[in-house]
Amino acid sequence: MAKLLKLRRGTTSQHSSFTGAEGEVTVDTDKETLVVHDGSTAGGHPIAAEDMANVSSASIAGRLGTDSIATTKIAGGALPTDVTIVSANITNGTIATADIAGDAIDGTKIADNAINSEHYTDGSIDHVHLSNNCIDGDNISDNSINSEHYVDGSIDNAFLANDCVNANKIADDSINSEHYVDGSIDHQHLSNDCIDGDNIQNDVINSEHYAAGSIDHEHLSNDCIDGDNIQNDVINSEHYAADSIDAEHYAPDSVDDNALSHTGVSAGTYGSATAIPAVTVNAQGRVTGVSTNTVNTTTNLGTSTASGSVTVTSSTGNNATINEASGSAAGVMSVTHHNKLDGIASSATNNGSGSLSSYLPLSGGTLTDNLNAEHIIPNANNAKDLGNVSYRWRNVYTNDLHLSNEGHSNDVDGTWGNWTIQEGESDLFLKNNRSGKKYKFNLTEVS
């Protein structure tokens, strides 16, 4: 009977962590293939199956050399959809226009003014992409092309229809008469020499039909120029039609006295030292009337007084009375107010309050409220008392009590001393400030 040879076997996962002996062969039960081991590589080296089912496409592609597959081995039209052909792989001129769909090229992909006539089919490219020499004027009938069909500058103006040129595309005052079709360009784009005044009847053209400055003023109708379109102070009298320009547009000195209507005011000087001129002005600011008013003067002044007013009298005019001052109006001091101030001392100062009852009197008097102060010092030594034999302080609250009769002597031994009484927790102490000696009071407890 034939012998049966069985090799060690396991799954792909088990092989990944298994390192076989050098020359050992095992079986991958998932891939159904043999695995050759070298003694050091975990997982070993799987052998490819005959149908290459256990080999990835990336591994196969990685083993192919450049140009190793001939084009004859690839079926026509069989390239996958994810294959990209870049411009470097296309020979210039190898793609025929017949192979390009009508809408295959988007106009946004073409630079403006970049294509010449030999590179496009008529009608296939928007005009904005055509260069200036793209269309030959000899092949176009006069006045037959509208603006959407040409590149600016590529067609002679003779071929342009009346609506061919869009005014928004033309700079103001930039076109001369030989460069446009009559009626095709708005007047604001015509240069000053565009229209010859010799060919225009006087007073027949309105403002919408001419370029500024291109027509002599004698050809303008009376409503030709609107004041809103003229800068102030820029036009002289010889440049405007009568009544066609508002006054604020006249240049200085452009209108002389002979051109102004009379207002009825007589020439002359009005007003003097005793007369005031009265001037009447109309809505246009012109003087329409002048007269004078007599100046009233006051002489021989006098005064009279009362308890609450002073009157300035005049023999030729009205008297002027100045009444007593009030809370809302200035005036003179009344007798009543004078009497209130008469008793105030000349050196008195304002204490900042409406009442003196809250303040310590300067001399004499009685303070009826608490006195809060830092130090109270007599103005002379050994001459002032705190209380008296009839009125004594009820309690004296103090810390240390300092006693001294320096400069005087007592009536017992005729000496003077300087002592301080201080408090301790259970005793009173007496300190002789002259000798430095310290004593303790002998105290007898009574309760």
Sign of the Cα pseudo-torsion (390, 395, 396, 400, in order):
positive
For residue 190, is it within any domain? yes
Q: What does each of the 447 residues of the chain score in pLDDT, given as a tens digit?
A: 688 888 899 999 999 999 999 999 999 999 889 999 999 999 999 998 888 888 888 888 888 888 777 777 776 655 666 667 777 778 887 877 777 776 677 767 777 666 665 656 555 555 555 555 555 555 555 555 555 555 555 555 554 555 455 445 455 454 555 545 555 555 555 554 555 545 455 555 555 555 555 555 555 555 555 555 555 555 555 545 455 555 665 666 666 676 677 778 888 888 888 888 989 998 888 888 988 888 776 567 888 888 889 998 888 778 889 998 888 989 898 888 888 888 776 766 665 555 555 566 666 777 777 888 888 899 888 889 999 999 999 999 999 999 999 988 999 999 999 999 999 999 999 999 999 999 999 999 999
Neighbours of 191 (CB within 10 A): 16
The confidence score (pLDDT) of residue 109 equals: 74
Which pair of tokens denotes residue 386?
């705190």
For residue 396, is it within any domain? yes
Q: How far apart are CA 345 and CA 76, in angstroms?
A: 130
For residue 107, is it within any domain? no
For residue 152, is it within any domain? no
Residue 14 exposed, middle or buried by CB count within 10 Å (0-12, 13-18, 19+) = middle
The confidence score (pLDDT) of residue 94 equals: 80
Last residue of a domain, one of 206, 234, 257: 257
Query: The CATH number of the domain where 17 resides is what?
Result: 2.10.10.30
Last residue of a domain, one of 257, 281, 306: 257
The confidence score (pLDDT) of residue 343 equals: 72
Neighbours of 213 (CB within 10 A): 13
The confidence score (pLDDT) of residue 167 equals: 47
Contact 290, 278 (CB under 8 A): yes
Last residue of a domain, one of 257, 274, 304: 257
Q: Which domain holds residue 400?
A: 387-447
The confidence score (pLDDT) of residue 285 equals: 85
DSSP line for 313-380: EESSS--EEEEB--SSS--BPPHHHHHHHHTS-TT----SSS-STTS--SSSS---S----S----SS
Residue 297 exposed, middle or buried by CB count within 10 Å (0-12, 13-18, 19+) = exposed
Sorted by sequence, the CB contacts under 8 Å of residue 210 that are 6+ apart come out as: 187, 190, 195, 220
The confidence score (pLDDT) of residue 353 equals: 54
The confidence score (pLDDT) of residue 37 equals: 94
Residue with tokens 């547009």: 249
The dihedral over CA atoms of 15, 19, 21, 25, expressed in degrees to the nearest 10, equals 20
Q: How far apart are CA 139 and CA 155, in angstroms?
A: 10
Q: How far apart are CA 172 and CA 185, in angstroms?
A: 11
The confidence score (pLDDT) of residue 64 equals: 83
Sorted by sequence, the CB contacts under 8 Å of residue 420 that are 6+ apart come out as: 400, 401, 402, 403, 430, 431, 433
For residue 307, is it within any domain? no
- What is each CA distance from 277 to 44, 288, 317, in whole angstroms? 126, 13, 22
For residue 295, is it within any domain? no
Percent composition of the chain: helix, strand, coil (DSSP 3-state, to 5) = 15, 15, 65
Q: How far apart are CA 120 and CA 217, in angstroms?
A: 52
Which pair of tokens denotes residue 272?
């003097």
The confidence score (pLDDT) of residue 416 equals: 95
Q: How far apart are CA 411 and CA 17, in angstroms?
A: 123
> What is the count of structural domains for the chain?
3
Sorted by sequence, the CB contacts under 8 Å of residue 393 that are 6+ apart come out as: 386, 387
